Amino acid sequence: MDKVVATAGQAVADVPDGASLAVGGFGLSGVPNVLIRALHERGAGALSVVSNNCGAMETGLAVLLAAGRIARVTGSYIGGNKEFARQYLGGELEVELIPQGTLAERLRAGGAGIPAFYTPAGVGTQVAEGGLPWRYDGAGGVALASPPKEVREFDGTEYVLERAIRTDFALVRAAQGDRHGNLVFHKSSRNFNPLAAMAGRVTIAEVEELVEPGGIDPDAVHVPGVFVQRVVALTPEQAADKRIEQRTVSS
């Protein structure tokens, strides 16, 4: 039952080239930076990443992206990541952009064993009708576009069928975790980390505070240990390393 792994490097040692990864984080909040850096050092490439965004400010998934280790991104926005935009528009990267709520539900459904679901989000747009550019040809044309999806009417309203997402691995960051893999997240880091943790067949969690079994109130657990296979305890320095993407100050 003890799922603690000594180092982040050991935790990601079996992630192969071409693996699919669900990665937690919302902007720069709750990003598993230590595990991502360990994966970068390991050298795995041609990765298919599912995450709300693809890093920013040269942190998070931006580290793997800049090194050319990511082949495909499934996410909800590009944001201010100029390298992400350059690779996408230049035809170097395949990108599937998904409405944010749909992305969250596709991850949750994957973890819950639900193969697909209907949602009104995207009906009447290229999300449902197809034609969204997944890959450009580098000359301004579209080399690969999204296919059309099934649309069905329920009680007079149209809904589009969206398939669940399951990945080979998941990388998440939790505020607290125990040796059995039970996890607790703080505030906005709870937006996508629990969903990514559920979607991975092998889920690896870096935790800011490691406690012994029984140290977490069962009512406070956000992700139970059944979804988590490996736990890495961060050092105080690693746990304190957090960045702010858009700083707002007042005089």
Greatest distance between any 2 Cα atoms in the chain: 58
pLDDT at 208 over 80: yes
What's residue 79's pLDDT? 80
Q: Among residues 180, 239, 196, 210, which one has the least CA distance to residue 20?
A: 196
Per-residue model confidence (pLDDT) at position 243 = 79
- Residue 240, pLDDT score: 85
pLDDT tens track for 130-189: 999 999 999 989 999 999 999 999 999 999 999 999 999 999 999 999 999 999 999 999
Quote the tokens at residue 200: 């991975």
- 32 within domain boundaries: yes
| pLDDT for 52 | 94
Alpha-carbon Rg for the chain in angstroms: 18
pLDDT on residue 216: 97
Q: What are residue 27's DSSP bridge partners?
A: none
Q: DSSP H helical segments within the chain, as ranges?
A: 8-11, 33-42, 61-66, 82-89, 100-112, 126-129, 193-199, 236-240
31 within a domain of the structure (yes/no):
yes
Per-residue confidence band for 244, with pLDDT thresholds at 50, 70 and 90: confident
In this model, does residue 227 exceed pLDDT 90? Answer: yes
Q: Is 131 within the bounds of a domain? A: no
Q: Looking at residue 2, what is its pLDDT?
A: 96
* Paired sense of beta strands 47-50 and 200-211, if any: unpaired
Query: pLDDT tens digits, residue range 33-75?
Result: 999 999 999 999 999 999 999 987 788 999 999 999 999 999 9
Contact between 61 and 70 (Cβ < 8 Å): yes
Report percent pLDDT > 70 for the chain.
100
**Residue 246 scores a pLDDT above 80:** no
User: What CATH number corresponds to the domain at position 49?
Assistant: 3.40.1080.10
User: Does residue 179 sit within a domain?
Assistant: yes
What domain range includes position 190? 8-115+164-240
Would you say residue 191 lies in a domain?
Answer: yes
Is residue 140 assigned to a domain? no
Judge whether 3 lies within some domain. Answer: no
- Residues with Cβ within 8 Å of residue 90, at least 6 apart in sequence: 136, 138
Reported pTM? 0.94
Domain count, the chain: 1
Query: What confidence tier does 94 reach under pLDDT thresholds 50, 70, 90?
Result: very high
The answer to whether residue 213 sits within a structural domain is yes
Burial of 142 (0-12, 13-18, 19+ CB in 10 A): middle
